[in-house]
Amino acid sequence: MIKGKRIAVPLVLLFLPAYLIAQEFGGNPATIKWKQINNAETRVIFPAGMDSQANRINTINLLLGNTTARSIGGKQRKWNIVLLNQTTIPNAYVRMAPIISELFMTPGQDNFSTGSLRNDDNLIIHENRHIQQLSNFNNGLTRVFSFFLGQEGQLLANGITIPDYFFEGDAVWQETLVSAQGRGRMPSFYNGMKSLWLGDKKYSWMKLRSGSFKDYTPNHYELGYQLVAYGYEKYGEDFWKNVTGDAVRFKGLFFAFNRAIERHSGKSYQQFREDALQYFKERSIPPAEKNTPVNFITSVKKHQVVDYLFPYYVNDDTIVVTRQSYRKIAAFYLLANGKEQMIRVKNQVINHYYAYRNGKIVYAAYQSDPRRGNRNYSVIQLLDIHSKKQRQLSFRSKYFSPDINEDGSEVLAVHVNTNGSNYLHRINAITGQRISELPNPHNYFYTQTKYINAIAAIAAVRNPEGKMCLVKVNLTNGETERITPFSFNVIGYPLVKGDTVYFSAMNKNADKIFAVRLSDKKLFQITDNANGIYQPAINEKGEMLFAAFTADGSRLGKINLATTKWQPATDENFTNTPDLYTPASLRKKGAGILYTLTDTTSPVTNYKKSFRLFNYHSWRPELNDPEYSYHLYSDNVLSSFSNRLTYTFNRSDQSHTIGFSEVFAGWFPVLSLGVEHSFNRSFLDTGLRKSVQFNTAKLNAGVSIPLSFVGGRTAKFLNFGGGYNVEQIVYYRGISKNVFNNRSVKYINSFIIFSNASRRAVQHINPRWAQSISLSYRNSFSIFNSYKLVGNSAFYFPGLFPNHSLVIHASYQKRDTIVNLFSNTFSYSRGYEALSTRRMYKLGANYHFPLWYPDLGFGNMIFFQRVRANAFYDHTVARARVSGILTDIKSRSAGTEIYFDTKVWNALPVSFGFRFSRLLDPDRLNPGARNLWEIIVPVGLIPD
């Protein structure tokens, strides 16, 4: 089946907020037994054994719908909320098309990222706000989009009118409003903008919104929260309800959101955002004289961001650290005497936390499940910094934040179960076998742990209320002793040195270094810094290293503990969690409502996987003259069955076609089926001088097995399968019924696709090391016995500089000499009209390199991040008969491509460019061509 480019599809993808478009198709294991809590407001779908979490999520969702929804419009639509407990990545999202929210239930270990509230509370509070937003953003002209395109129509309209920073900033505001924490109360959440202000970086609004390949810019969560919280603070609870209400109605038509802000604030959009950022700048930056002087030992690299994370002293003069930059991926390095020596590239990780002791590094690495995208693992890796050899200690596990003991014989790690419980495991560092599981009677959630000695450890824990403290853990019986008071102030990254534990803790306007003596539990504040500093390390000289958040990356700073004032910290000062910067906005209706929650139990029933298999949510037109189509799309909630209904009208022969296709991914193989019937097809037979009329029926069935092996230092993907296809032609009317025989075309197709790629740094145009190979075979065995074998491959290598890339292409095709029944997938030389002969091969070379990082934009419509070039050479040989003689036809070309990597409307990444091809041989299908210029646009962005 030949498909044209669609109009609706690229437009929808242009404007969809990022959190709305991610769902793993067939990602859940088939063995999961699903349960549900179903009522008029919510359907919570969850694996058996998660009843308590499901009940709490249901209760919170109902509570917020009755309290906070009014500030965004008053409605809260019934939503499908799916709990996933097989993942190790802390995440969640809301989407429409279909209506669903997925919550990944394994809590994250990075306390300074999303805070210490219990994970289910944190997820549903944030995602509930997205549910409320989408429930209220279908008014006015947006309803017209919904009428013509279904749920995707609303997403399209919302993407046009509401910026992504508002969606996320508003959701973070709800986190902060209804709880005693939320990211709006966490100083780490402001590190990005504060680093720019402290570094005197004056970036344009378009650069802040669009990001940069050469400079650090905060994400849209942080930027969005500052604008949203300022709006609530200055203009009241109804401000954003009124702004978004006007925007989704397209009042003012173009730039409706900006115009709505002007209408309801009395300021220009530019003045509003400048005032908002200035408001936070004045309140978050303390006077310079109050900052602890820091001696930075890592320098600033021009036009790139470099992070040095988790430093440890190997000896007094040598440091082991994780280093990553916009030019290089994360790796372990040794720093000594001003030089940097790489030990080893890091495996794929969820976060960069690791531990070091006596020549051994231990860390948790990410591994995917080969078949199920919603099941993955966190395994322990042990690395010797001297031999540079690494061993994997655990397999198919969920271990986090490991530490290694003094003699290297034992590892202590946090183990998280699928039911949400977690325990500390002692693990043999030689065999990987579990020595013991420590009891957890207080139901703490353990995060970073550090050995004190052979029988005790220190850990940063969260209690069920979401408060944190440091506890001392007895490694023989699991008993715990509280070392610091519980509070909603986030703490983490403990380091044990003698009788003292050093750690990072949020305090007033920044995350600072504190210390506590184990003997008397006396607390001290070590630093008084303006922006976050983390991960302390101390040598025998009493010098303390730490990672400091700056606009140039995370830099290593050093202070001398002997000359630093240790300020005694009272419990009141240590535990106070202020309403940072916008106190009035955090006293609106719903403030602290989470703590009025009473545990309720709702009926739990079985959830059938077959529920609403046919769930049509969106419809799209497809214009590919002379054919005009309309498609209806259906996806079930668990994302295991997708199907499509299609109607097509052909303007040329006035024919009609109906079709149905489906893909089922609930089992290990992915099964596909498609049927299509065309009525009143016709063509003009020149011999009969009459119109020949016929019907056609098509059937295709296929099976494939997609596998992914993401882990280690590369990501590997393998997909293989095949299918059976038949097209029946029935002549049914007039003379054609007697003259032509009914015919059928049958063929099988099979394919295998493999890729293996290393990770990419921000400035990498391509992976530095990668291989991609695809092979397809199609064979017809009906009217014509025809076959075609096509292979394409690409091999990626490092260039002369870290952000350069050399790519070698090789392709091969072989087919029979009769009529070519199959579409062309052979990669031909650029600049030529492609031939398709009995045998062809191609070799190509490409060298990609950046030219300029302009960071320039125009009118909030297009922002240029990078200009890059590709110099190429293609060499194709096609064997065919020319004047009866078997001839090798050469098609060689060389040239240059120039690409512009941009952000359109500050949100959509779009790369486009132009190509000049110099044809070194005659073009058999276009003899006059020699120098060819072409415009390169993304596939699907510009319709036919």
CB-based contacts of 511, cutoff 8 Å, min separation 6: 112, 187, 188, 490, 504, 505, 532, 533, 534
Which two tokens mark 456? Answer: 């005790």
Distance from C-alpha of 591 to C-alpha of 226, rounded to nearest angstrom? 18
Helix axis angle for 119-136 and 239-248, nearest 10°, is 50
Which amino acid is located at 186 in the chain? M
- At CA 848, angle to CA 843 and CA 854, rounded to 5? 155
Domains, the chain, with CATH or none: 164-285 (1.10.390), 289-300+310-575 (2.120.10.30), 763-944 (no CATH)
pLDDT of residue 420: 86
Locate the DSSP E strands across 486-611. Answer: 491-497, 500-507, 510-517, 523-525, 533-538, 543-550, 553-560, 567-568, 605-606
- Interacting residues of 388 by C-beta distance below 8 A, sequence separation 6+: 343, 344
Side chain identity, residue 36: Q
How far apart CA 526 and CA 113 sit, in angstroms, is 22
- Count of other CB atoms within 10 angstroms of residue 497: 16
**Cα–chain center distance at 146:** 27
Query: From CA 474, how far away is CA 482, in angstroms rounded?
Result: 12
- Are 185 and 194 within 8 A, CB to CB? no
CA–CA dist 712, 346 (Å, integer): 8
Mind giving me the DSSP string for 711-737?
ETTEEEEEEEEEEEEEEEEEE-SHHHH
Are 216 and 552 spatial neighbours (Cβ–Cβ below 8 Å)? yes
- Distance separating alpha carbons of residues 116 and 469, to the nearest angstrom: 10
Write out the H or E segment, with its range, that includes residue 248. helix 239-248
- 102 near 23, Cβ under 8 Å? yes
Q: What is the pLDDT of residue 928?
A: 85
Token readout for 836 is 């398709």
User: pLDDT tens across 424-455, in order?
Assistant: 999 999 999 999 999 999 999 999 999 999 99
Contact 531, 198 (CB under 8 A): yes
Cβ–Cβ < 8 Å for 199, 550: yes
The amino acid occupying position 655 is: S
Separation in Å, CA 66 to CA 73, 143, 375, 532, 792: 12, 25, 34, 37, 57
Helices (H), 698-828: 734-739
pLDDT tens for residues 455-495? 999 999 999 999 999 999 999 999 999 999 999 999 999 99
State the burial class of residue 703 (Cβ atoms within 10 Å of its Cβ: 0-12, 13-18, 19+).
middle
Q: What local confidence, expressed as pLDDT, does residue 435 receive? A: 98
Residue 230 parent element (H or E): helix 220-235
* 505, 496 contact by CB (below 8 A): no
Say if CB 194 and CB 291 are below 8 A apart: no
Q: Which residues of the chain, if any, have pLDDT below 70?
A: 1-22, 289-290, 683-692, 730-742, 783-784, 819-820, 939-944
pLDDT confidence of residue 784: 67
**Contact assessment for residue 488 and residue 466, using Cβ atoms and an 8 Å cutoff:** yes
Q: Give the pLDDT of residue 782.
A: 72
pLDDT value at residue 883 = 81
